[in-house]
Amino acid sequence: MNVLEHIGKEAKKAAPVLGTLSTEKKNQVLLKAASNLTAGMDRILAANEKDMEQGRAKGMKAGLLDRLKLTPERIEGMAEGLRQIAGLADPIGQVIEEHRPPNGLRIRQVRVPLGVVGIIYEARPNVTADAFGLCFKTGNVAILRGGSDAIHSNHTIVEILQETLAAQGCPVSAISLLEDTSRETAAAFMRLNSYIDVLIPRGSAGLIAAVVKNSTVPVIETGSGNCHIYVDEAADLSMAVEIVYNAKTQRIGVCNACESLVVHEKVRNAFLPLLAERLSEKQVELRGDARAREAVPMKEASQEDWGMEYLDYILSVKVVDSLSEAVSHINQYNTGHSEAIITEDKAHAEQFLREVDAAAVYVNASTRFTDGFEFGFGAEIGISTQKLHARGPMGLLALTSYKYKIYGKGQVRK
């Protein structure tokens, strides 16, 4: 039996134990894990330094090195994350619905863990503690496959979590890490249907696409966001300027940042100069169609620009003649993440909210709010851009399934 098979088997064995732990026990373990991470700070920093050295040696870019780097503050942040998860309500065991059909059976729909959750992610080692916390709170076993760049950090964090589990009398295989970060093992991991109930990829668009393409285990697709803001003919233009400025520049490398602006013909001449001036504070590059370039000098947008998630100080600009044209354009190019309309016209707002096909559709607010914390979920395992199972920010509920418990008195089918 190979290592992967062994990990899968142990995970599946631990799943029923985890699924029936009491809320009190789970919270106790989470709090203990938090203090053990803090207490193990030196061990984690030493391991992280090995990853940083390797990264520098292979010429990793500054941005990636920064994502990889752990500091006492960041480790404290990981511990604090676990404490917050301990404070959230436990969804497991909740009775969703109960009814008694004519056959006299009592059918009770009860919330249960998914079982074994596989998480594939890249260089950020804080995901390791985070994923454990969310999975453990919902009674799920987690198998993590982090990036090779963070292997020492991830190894040490998982070691501390497993020491905590052992000391608390819980199955150590509640969390495991694939130490072999080869592509072949990742590919085999994605086809481990006998042991894994769901796979969640977290990271770049390329990683997510590869998981969707190669996995036979059910996947929750997260992530990429080509988010639009449509400035309607009935928009409050100064509100529109501030919302676009925020959605484009407040943080550029995130999936809920605005990447494309759609403007109604009637307001383009009044709006675009105002916006261009505000965005110039952050040197945002505009790329527009012919009519946008008539209103403000800017680069010409190519056909590819409409589908681009820049994750940079760049914004594409499209002018349309109607709300319906805006909706068609957005539905053609968006990634099902977050889309906004700026308008004072309630009928326009409702048409946009109804017709645009995305997880989160906004009227008069920044797309940057698509986030588990901002939505009030208290934590987030990712943002789903698919329609199956969960859509938008995924909190604890997204890590659950249900079962039907059915109480009979000897009923047989006629």
Residue 138 lies near a copy of itself (rule: CB under 8 A)? no
**DSSP per residue over 131-174, as a string?**
HHHHHHHTT-EEEEE--GGGHHHHHHHHHHHHHHHHHTTS-GGG
Closest CB to a copy of itself among residues 294, 374: 374
Applying CB under 8 A, does 386 fall inside the site for a copy of itself?
A: yes
Q: Which stretch binds a copy of itself (CB under 8 A): 12-20, 54-62, 143-151, 265-273?
A: 12-20
Identified binder of a copy of itself from the candidate list 164, 246, 316, 385, rule CB under 8 A: 246
* Number of residues that this document lists for the chain: 414
Q: Which of residues 204-233 bind a copy of itself (CB under 8 A)?
A: 212-213, 216, 218-221
The answer to whether residue 94 forms part of the interface with a copy of itself (CB under 8 A) is no
Binding a copy of itself (rule: CB under 8 A), the pick from 31, 65, 107, 314 is 107
Q: Among positive and negative, which fits the CA dihedral 349, 350, 352, 356? A: positive
> By CB neighbour count within 10 A (0-12 exposed, 13-18 middle, 19+ buried), where does 37 fall?
buried
Cβ burial of 194 (10 Å; 0-12, 13-18, 19+) is: exposed
What 8-state DSSP symbol labels residue 302?
Answer: P
Stretch of residues binding a copy of itself (CB under 8 A), selected from 167-175, 259-267, 310-318, 402-410: 402-410
- Report d(CA 239, CA 391) in Å as an integer: 28
Residue from 114, 229, 296, 323 touching a copy of itself (CB under 8 A): that is 114
Instruction: Could you list the beta-strand ranges (E) of 53-99.
Output: 95-99
Q: Please, which residue, 15 or 79, has the CB nearer to a copy of itself?
A: 15
Q: Which of 78, 88, 262, 361 binds a copy of itself (CB under 8 A)?
A: 361
- Residues 240 and 342 sit within 8 Å (Cβ to Cβ): yes
What is the smallest separation between the CB atom of 139 and a copy of itself, expressed in angstroms? Answer: 11
Task: Return the H-helix or E-strand segment holding 17.
Answer: helix 3-19
**CA distances in angstroms from 240 to 212, 274, 278, 371, listed in the order given:** 36, 10, 11, 21
Shortest Cβ 34–a copy of itself spacing (Å): 24
Residue 239 interacts with a copy of itself (CB under 8 A): yes or no: yes
Judged by the rule CB under 8 A, the positions of this chain that interact with a copy of itself are 15-16, 20, 99, 101-103, 105, 107, 114-115, 193, 197-198, 212-213, 216, 218-221, 236, 239, 242-243, 245-247, 250, 327, 331, 349, 353-355, 357-366, 368-369, 374-376, 386-389, 391-392, 401-413
